Amino acid sequence: MKSDTLITGLGFCGMDYLCQVPHIPQDDKVEILQSAIQGGGPSVNAIAAAARLGARTAFIGCVGGDQPGRDIVAGLAAEGVDISGMRTREGAESAAGFCWIEKETGKRSIAWTRGTARPLATEEITPELICSSTLLHLDGHQTEAAIAAAKLARAHGVTVSIDAGTIVPRIEKLLELADIIIASETFACRYTGLYDMETAAKKLFAGNCRFSAVTMGSEGSIGCDGCEVFRCPAFKVTVVDTTGAGDVFHGAFAYEYVRGGTWTECLRFASAVSALKCTRFGGRAGIPDLKTTQEFLKQHE
Protein backbone atom coordinates (compact mmCIF):
# COMPACT_ATOMS: atom_id res chain seq x y z
CA MET A 1 0.00 0.00 0.00
CA LYS A 2 1.36 3.45 -0.93
CA SER A 3 2.35 5.62 2.02
CA ASP A 4 0.08 8.43 0.83
CA THR A 5 -3.01 6.20 0.71
CA LEU A 6 -5.68 7.41 3.13
CA ILE A 7 -9.02 5.81 4.00
CA THR A 8 -11.37 8.29 5.67
CA GLY A 9 -14.68 7.48 7.31
CA LEU A 10 -17.62 9.73 8.18
CA GLY A 11 -20.70 8.74 10.11
CA PHE A 12 -22.03 7.34 13.35
CA CYS A 13 -19.73 6.80 16.30
CA GLY A 14 -20.80 5.86 19.80
CA MET A 15 -19.96 3.75 22.82
CA ASP A 16 -20.97 0.09 22.82
CA TYR A 17 -21.96 -1.65 26.04
CA LEU A 18 -21.77 -5.38 25.36
CA CYS A 19 -22.75 -8.39 27.40
CA GLN A 20 -22.70 -12.08 26.58
CA VAL A 21 -25.65 -14.00 28.03
CA PRO A 22 -26.85 -17.63 27.98
CA HIS A 23 -29.94 -16.45 26.10
CA ILE A 24 -31.46 -13.08 25.26
CA PRO A 25 -34.15 -12.52 27.91
CA GLN A 26 -37.74 -11.52 27.27
CA ASP A 27 -39.56 -10.28 30.38
CA ASP A 28 -36.98 -12.25 32.36
CA LYS A 29 -33.62 -11.95 34.11
CA VAL A 30 -30.33 -13.52 33.10
CA GLU A 31 -26.79 -13.47 34.47
CA ILE A 32 -24.12 -11.81 32.32
CA LEU A 33 -21.30 -14.19 31.36
CA GLN A 34 -18.86 -11.50 30.19
CA SER A 35 -19.08 -7.81 29.32
CA ALA A 36 -17.10 -5.05 27.64
CA ILE A 37 -17.30 -1.33 26.87
CA GLN A 38 -15.72 -0.13 23.62
CA GLY A 39 -16.24 2.32 20.79
CA GLY A 40 -18.65 1.31 18.05
CA GLY A 41 -20.61 2.34 14.98
CA PRO A 42 -20.70 1.17 11.34
CA SER A 43 -18.27 3.53 9.60
CA VAL A 44 -16.04 4.05 12.62
CA ASN A 45 -15.59 0.30 13.17
CA ALA A 46 -14.75 -0.06 9.48
CA ILE A 47 -12.06 2.60 9.85
CA ALA A 48 -10.73 0.92 13.01
CA ALA A 49 -10.51 -2.35 11.04
CA ALA A 50 -8.62 -0.70 8.17
CA ALA A 51 -6.26 0.90 10.70
CA ARG A 52 -5.56 -2.40 12.46
CA LEU A 53 -4.81 -4.00 9.10
CA GLY A 54 -2.18 -1.32 8.53
CA ALA A 55 -3.91 1.42 6.51
CA ARG A 56 -3.48 5.13 7.14
CA THR A 57 -6.91 6.24 8.29
CA ALA A 58 -8.98 9.20 9.50
CA PHE A 59 -12.48 9.63 10.88
CA ILE A 60 -14.90 12.56 10.77
CA GLY A 61 -17.71 12.51 13.30
CA CYS A 62 -19.04 14.07 16.48
CA VAL A 63 -19.39 13.08 20.11
CA GLY A 64 -20.82 14.63 23.24
CA GLY A 65 -18.64 16.38 25.76
CA ASP A 66 -19.18 13.56 28.26
CA GLN A 67 -16.79 10.85 29.47
CA PRO A 68 -18.01 8.33 26.84
CA GLY A 69 -17.30 10.94 24.15
CA ARG A 70 -13.76 11.42 25.41
CA ASP A 71 -13.29 7.65 25.54
CA ILE A 72 -14.59 7.24 21.97
CA VAL A 73 -12.04 9.73 20.63
CA ALA A 74 -9.24 8.25 22.75
CA GLY A 75 -10.08 4.77 21.46
CA LEU A 76 -9.73 5.92 17.86
CA ALA A 77 -6.44 7.66 18.59
CA ALA A 78 -5.15 4.45 20.20
CA GLU A 79 -5.85 2.64 16.91
CA GLY A 80 -3.72 5.21 15.07
CA VAL A 81 -6.71 6.89 13.41
CA ASP A 82 -6.37 10.60 12.54
CA ILE A 83 -8.96 12.30 14.78
CA SER A 84 -8.49 15.88 13.53
CA GLY A 85 -11.94 15.67 11.94
CA MET A 86 -13.73 14.81 15.20
CA ARG A 87 -16.05 17.41 16.74
CA THR A 88 -17.08 17.56 20.41
CA ARG A 89 -20.44 18.99 21.47
CA GLU A 90 -20.04 20.28 25.00
CA GLY A 91 -23.05 19.66 27.23
CA ALA A 92 -24.36 16.88 24.97
CA GLU A 93 -24.56 13.11 25.45
CA SER A 94 -22.70 10.79 23.11
CA ALA A 95 -24.40 8.08 21.07
CA ALA A 96 -24.52 4.59 22.58
CA GLY A 97 -25.39 1.01 21.70
CA PHE A 98 -26.51 -1.68 24.14
CA CYS A 99 -25.70 -5.14 22.80
CA TRP A 100 -26.79 -8.57 24.00
CA ILE A 101 -24.82 -11.50 22.55
CA GLU A 102 -26.22 -15.02 22.83
CA LYS A 103 -23.46 -17.45 23.90
CA GLU A 104 -24.58 -20.51 21.97
CA THR A 105 -25.05 -18.83 18.57
CA GLY A 106 -23.00 -15.61 18.80
CA LYS A 107 -26.00 -13.72 17.42
CA ARG A 108 -26.72 -10.31 18.88
CA SER A 109 -29.53 -7.86 19.51
CA ILE A 110 -28.80 -4.14 19.71
CA ALA A 111 -30.72 -1.16 21.04
CA TRP A 112 -29.10 2.18 20.28
CA THR A 113 -29.48 5.91 20.80
CA ARG A 114 -28.00 8.73 18.75
CA GLY A 115 -27.52 10.79 21.94
CA THR A 116 -28.08 14.54 22.04
CA ALA A 117 -25.03 15.76 20.12
CA ARG A 118 -25.97 18.05 17.22
CA PRO A 119 -25.33 16.38 13.83
CA LEU A 120 -22.32 17.38 11.78
CA ALA A 121 -22.88 20.51 9.72
CA THR A 122 -21.70 20.58 6.12
CA GLU A 123 -19.06 23.18 7.00
CA GLU A 124 -17.54 20.74 9.52
CA ILE A 125 -16.54 17.97 7.10
CA THR A 126 -12.79 18.78 6.98
CA PRO A 127 -12.23 19.21 3.20
CA GLU A 128 -8.46 18.68 3.44
CA LEU A 129 -8.97 15.17 4.82
CA ILE A 130 -11.55 14.24 2.20
CA CYS A 131 -9.67 15.65 -0.78
CA SER A 132 -6.44 13.90 0.23
CA SER A 133 -8.16 10.54 0.70
CA THR A 134 -8.03 7.57 -1.63
CA LEU A 135 -11.41 6.34 -0.38
CA LEU A 136 -14.21 7.91 1.65
CA HIS A 137 -16.38 5.45 3.56
CA LEU A 138 -19.90 6.40 4.71
CA ASP A 139 -22.63 4.62 6.66
CA GLY A 140 -25.68 6.79 5.87
CA HIS A 141 -25.64 8.56 9.24
CA GLN A 142 -24.74 12.28 9.57
CA THR A 143 -26.59 12.30 6.25
CA GLU A 144 -26.37 15.95 5.17
CA ALA A 145 -22.66 16.13 5.99
CA ALA A 146 -22.17 12.77 4.26
CA ILE A 147 -23.84 14.03 1.07
CA ALA A 148 -21.63 17.13 1.05
CA ALA A 149 -18.55 15.00 1.70
CA ALA A 150 -19.46 12.55 -1.08
CA LYS A 151 -19.90 15.39 -3.58
CA LEU A 152 -16.54 16.85 -2.58
CA ALA A 153 -14.88 13.46 -2.80
CA ARG A 154 -16.23 12.78 -6.28
CA ALA A 155 -15.10 16.20 -7.47
CA HIS A 156 -11.54 15.32 -6.41
CA GLY A 157 -11.45 11.77 -7.77
CA VAL A 158 -11.87 10.08 -4.38
CA THR A 159 -13.67 6.73 -4.37
CA VAL A 160 -16.87 6.81 -2.30
CA SER A 161 -18.07 3.65 -0.59
CA ILE A 162 -21.16 3.20 1.54
CA ASP A 163 -22.26 0.68 4.12
CA ALA A 164 -25.98 0.53 3.31
CA GLY A 165 -27.31 -0.84 6.56
CA THR A 166 -29.97 1.62 7.69
CA ILE A 167 -32.66 3.30 5.61
CA VAL A 168 -32.52 6.97 6.56
CA PRO A 169 -34.03 10.04 4.84
CA ARG A 170 -32.12 10.88 1.62
CA ILE A 171 -30.23 7.60 1.59
CA GLU A 172 -31.08 7.38 -2.11
CA LYS A 173 -28.96 10.51 -2.72
CA LEU A 174 -25.96 8.91 -1.02
CA LEU A 175 -26.40 5.76 -3.08
CA GLU A 176 -26.39 7.87 -6.25
CA LEU A 177 -23.05 9.38 -5.23
CA ALA A 178 -21.37 6.10 -4.25
CA ASP A 179 -18.86 4.15 -6.35
CA ILE A 180 -19.09 1.09 -4.08
CA ILE A 181 -22.40 0.09 -2.49
CA ILE A 182 -22.41 -2.85 -0.09
CA ALA A 183 -25.73 -3.48 1.62
CA SER A 184 -26.85 -5.81 4.37
CA GLU A 185 -29.40 -8.41 3.36
CA THR A 186 -32.05 -6.64 5.44
CA PHE A 187 -31.39 -3.28 3.80
CA ALA A 188 -31.34 -4.83 0.32
CA CYS A 189 -34.73 -6.48 0.87
CA ARG A 190 -36.37 -3.39 2.31
CA TYR A 191 -34.88 -0.90 -0.15
CA THR A 192 -35.31 -2.86 -3.38
CA GLY A 193 -38.40 -4.89 -2.42
CA LEU A 194 -36.60 -7.98 -3.72
CA TYR A 195 -35.80 -11.21 -1.89
CA ASP A 196 -33.39 -12.72 -4.38
CA MET A 197 -30.04 -11.22 -3.40
CA GLU A 198 -28.42 -11.52 -6.82
CA THR A 199 -31.27 -9.52 -8.32
CA ALA A 200 -31.12 -7.05 -5.42
CA ALA A 201 -27.36 -6.55 -5.87
CA LYS A 202 -27.94 -5.83 -9.56
CA LYS A 203 -30.71 -3.35 -8.74
CA LEU A 204 -28.43 -1.50 -6.30
CA PHE A 205 -25.98 -1.05 -9.17
CA ALA A 206 -27.16 2.36 -10.36
CA GLY A 207 -26.12 5.99 -10.60
CA ASN A 208 -22.32 6.30 -10.47
CA CYS A 209 -21.87 2.80 -9.07
CA ARG A 210 -18.85 0.68 -10.04
CA PHE A 211 -19.56 -2.25 -7.73
CA SER A 212 -22.56 -3.29 -5.64
CA ALA A 213 -22.92 -6.18 -3.25
CA VAL A 214 -25.08 -7.71 -0.55
CA THR A 215 -23.70 -9.39 2.56
CA MET A 216 -25.69 -12.37 3.83
CA GLY A 217 -23.96 -13.44 7.05
CA SER A 218 -23.21 -17.16 7.09
CA GLU A 219 -24.43 -17.37 3.48
CA GLY A 220 -21.53 -15.20 2.28
CA SER A 221 -21.80 -12.26 -0.10
CA ILE A 222 -22.75 -11.58 -3.69
CA GLY A 223 -21.81 -8.62 -5.88
CA CYS A 224 -21.75 -7.31 -9.42
CA ASP A 225 -19.80 -4.79 -11.48
CA GLY A 226 -22.55 -4.18 -14.01
CA CYS A 227 -21.49 -7.15 -16.15
CA GLU A 228 -20.23 -10.01 -14.00
CA VAL A 229 -21.68 -11.52 -10.84
CA PHE A 230 -19.28 -12.40 -8.00
CA ARG A 231 -20.14 -14.93 -5.30
CA CYS A 232 -18.09 -15.37 -2.15
CA PRO A 233 -18.97 -18.03 0.42
CA ALA A 234 -18.50 -17.30 4.11
CA PHE A 235 -15.62 -18.94 5.94
CA LYS A 236 -16.68 -21.55 8.48
CA VAL A 237 -15.53 -20.59 11.97
CA THR A 238 -16.62 -21.11 15.56
CA VAL A 239 -18.77 -18.04 16.18
CA VAL A 240 -18.44 -16.23 19.51
CA ASP A 241 -19.91 -12.84 18.68
CA THR A 242 -21.21 -11.41 15.38
CA THR A 243 -21.28 -7.81 16.67
CA GLY A 244 -19.48 -5.55 14.20
CA ALA A 245 -18.91 -8.30 11.62
CA GLY A 246 -20.53 -6.26 8.85
CA ASP A 247 -18.67 -3.08 9.83
CA VAL A 248 -15.35 -4.93 9.77
CA PHE A 249 -16.24 -6.43 6.37
CA HIS A 250 -16.47 -2.91 4.95
CA GLY A 251 -13.19 -1.79 6.45
CA ALA A 252 -11.36 -4.84 5.13
CA PHE A 253 -12.98 -4.45 1.69
CA ALA A 254 -11.80 -0.82 1.57
CA TYR A 255 -8.31 -1.87 2.66
CA GLU A 256 -7.96 -4.48 -0.07
CA TYR A 257 -9.53 -2.18 -2.67
CA VAL A 258 -7.01 0.63 -2.14
CA ARG A 259 -4.23 -1.97 -2.36
CA GLY A 260 -5.44 -2.71 -5.89
CA GLY A 261 -7.32 -5.94 -5.25
CA THR A 262 -9.84 -7.30 -7.73
CA TRP A 263 -13.49 -7.46 -6.74
CA THR A 264 -13.08 -11.16 -6.03
CA GLU A 265 -10.00 -10.53 -3.89
CA CYS A 266 -11.76 -7.72 -2.02
CA LEU A 267 -14.76 -9.92 -1.20
CA ARG A 268 -12.61 -12.85 -0.07
CA PHE A 269 -10.30 -10.71 2.06
CA ALA A 270 -13.25 -8.92 3.67
CA SER A 271 -14.96 -12.25 4.35
CA ALA A 272 -11.83 -13.56 6.08
CA VAL A 273 -11.44 -10.51 8.32
CA SER A 274 -15.14 -10.59 9.19
CA ALA A 275 -15.02 -14.31 9.99
CA LEU A 276 -12.01 -13.86 12.27
CA LYS A 277 -13.79 -11.05 14.10
CA CYS A 278 -16.69 -13.38 14.80
CA THR A 279 -14.37 -15.75 16.69
CA ARG A 280 -13.75 -13.11 19.36
CA PHE A 281 -15.94 -11.14 21.74
CA GLY A 282 -16.53 -7.46 20.93
CA GLY A 283 -17.09 -5.53 17.73
CA ARG A 284 -13.88 -3.49 18.07
CA ALA A 285 -11.71 -5.77 20.20
CA GLY A 286 -12.33 -8.73 17.89
CA ILE A 287 -10.77 -7.13 14.78
CA PRO A 288 -7.74 -9.15 13.57
CA ASP A 289 -4.45 -7.69 12.31
CA LEU A 290 -3.00 -8.26 8.83
CA LYS A 291 -0.65 -11.10 9.82
CA THR A 292 -3.47 -13.08 11.43
CA THR A 293 -5.65 -12.55 8.36
CA GLN A 294 -2.94 -13.60 5.92
CA GLU A 295 -2.25 -16.78 7.90
CA PHE A 296 -5.98 -17.55 7.97
CA LEU A 297 -6.24 -17.12 4.20
CA LYS A 298 -3.26 -19.41 3.61
CA GLN A 299 -4.91 -22.06 5.73
CA HIS A 300 -8.06 -21.79 3.61
CA GLU A 301 -6.57 -21.71 0.11
Exposure b/e, 74-109, CB count within 10 A at least 16 = b: ebbeebebbbebbbbbeebbbbbbebbbbeeebebe
Assessment of whether the complete model's pTM goes beyond 0.85:
yes
> 23 near 30, Cβ under 8 Å?
yes
Name beta bridge partners: 8: 58, 136
Q: Which CATH superfamily is domain 7-13+41-86+118-299 in?
A: Ribokinase (3.40.1190.20)
- Residue 301 has what pLDDT? 85
Say if residue 178 is exposed, middle or buried (CB neighbours under 10 Å; 0-12, 13-18, 19+). buried
Alpha carbon distance 264, 278 (integer Å):
21
Domain borders along the chain are 7-13+41-86+118-299
Identify the CA nearest to 251 among candidates 222, 224, 287, 280. Answer: 287
> 212 near 223, Cβ under 8 Å?
yes
What single letter denotes the amino acid at residue 99? C
Identify the CA nearest to 96 among candidates 177, 40, 27. Answer: 40
- Residue 4 has what pLDDT? 77
N-terminal to C-terminal alpha carbon distance within the chain: 23
| Spans in the chain with pLDDT lower than 70 | 2-3
- Residue 43 has what pLDDT? 97
- Residue 2 has what pLDDT? 66
- Residue 206 has what pLDDT? 86
